[in-house]
Amino acid sequence: MSGSRGRVGRIRQQHEGTILKAAEHVFARSGFQGATMAEIALRAGMPKSNLHYYFGTKVEVYRAVLAHILELWLAETDRFTPDADPREALSHYIEAKMRLTAERPDASRVFANELLHGAPEIGDYLRGALRALVADKSVVIRGWIAAGRMAAVDPEHLFFSLWALTQTYADFETQVGAVLGRSNLGPADYRRATDHVLNLVLRGCGLMPPAAIEEPPCST
């Protein structure tokens, strides 16, 4: 019986999930324009008209996929607090981002595609929530720098760098794979990539990695 949103469409709930999953896959590969409702429907295992029953238009599906992704993005934030250890905070953030990239590459790709085309759907999010979040964290980082706890690095640009360094492994997996001589990246590749990014960024911020240059920084 009801509840917050209880019995409202048991089937709907489930099928919307299936559709979103299928759509993410298709949008990641073909972009918004390239994706077809027919293909999404096929992948979701239902006739096109049924897909249209759940989502009236293609943009609606697309928006839902993006909203779903933004939820993920925003979830894994805070450790950037004035009292935190900079190395700890950065390491954690990088590891989280890399894990997300490895686990949900399609999400990253849909997001990248949206940005690449001028972010027609998520411009508000970028100028709103995201900007505020970065502004907040930047204050903290500037504090760390002023206190001599890390090297002087532009905080805003540091975020751009972190995003770029991590998401490149999903967005441009083809390129990375081609250069490394594989058709796609496996867990070992992601492990190596994470180590590399950690090494580069921590050192770049004047924070030596836990176990210097030789030993893998283990941890998780």
Which parts of this chain interact with DNA (CB under 7 A)? 1, 7, 9-12, 15, 35-38, 46-50, 52-54, 56-59
DSSP state of 7: T
Q: Does 187 bind a copy of itself (CB under 8 A)?
A: no
Residue among 8, 59, 74, 116 that touches a copy of itself (CB under 8 A): 116
Q: By the 8 A CB rule, do 162 and 198 touch?
A: no
How many Cβ atoms from other residues are within 10 Å of residue 185's Cβ? 20
Q: Does 215 bind a copy of itself (CB under 8 A)?
A: yes
| DSSP symbols for 76-125 | S-----TTS-HHHHHHHHHHHHHHHHHH-HHHHHHHHHHHHTT-TTTHHH
Residue among 1 and 179 whose Cβ is closer to DNA: 1
With contacts defined by CB under 8 A, how many residues of the chain interact with a copy of itself?
Answer: 64
Residue among 72, 178, 188, 210 that touches a copy of itself (CB under 8 A): 178
| DSSP symbols for 21-61 | HHHHHHHHHHHHHH--HHHHHHHHTS-HHHHHHH-SSHHHH
Of 12-20, 51-59, 80-88, 159-167: span binding a copy of itself (CB under 8 A) = 159-167
- For residue 155, give the amino acid letter: P
Look at residue 16 and give the partner it binds from a copy of itself, DNA, none, a contact being a CB closer than 5 to 8 Å depending on partner kind: none
Q: By the 8 A CB rule, do 50 and 29 touch?
A: no
Look at residue 178 and give the partner it binds from DNA, a copy of itself, none, a contact being a CB closer than 5 to 8 Å depending on partner kind: a copy of itself
The C-alpha atoms of residue 220 and residue 203 are separated, in whole angstroms, by: 19
Residues forming contacts to a copy of itself in the complex (CB under 8 A) are 29-34, 109, 112-113, 115-119, 123, 126-127, 130-131, 134, 148, 151-154, 156-161, 163-165, 167-169, 171-172, 174-176, 178-181, 192-193, 195-197, 199-201, 203-206, 208, 213-215, 217, 220
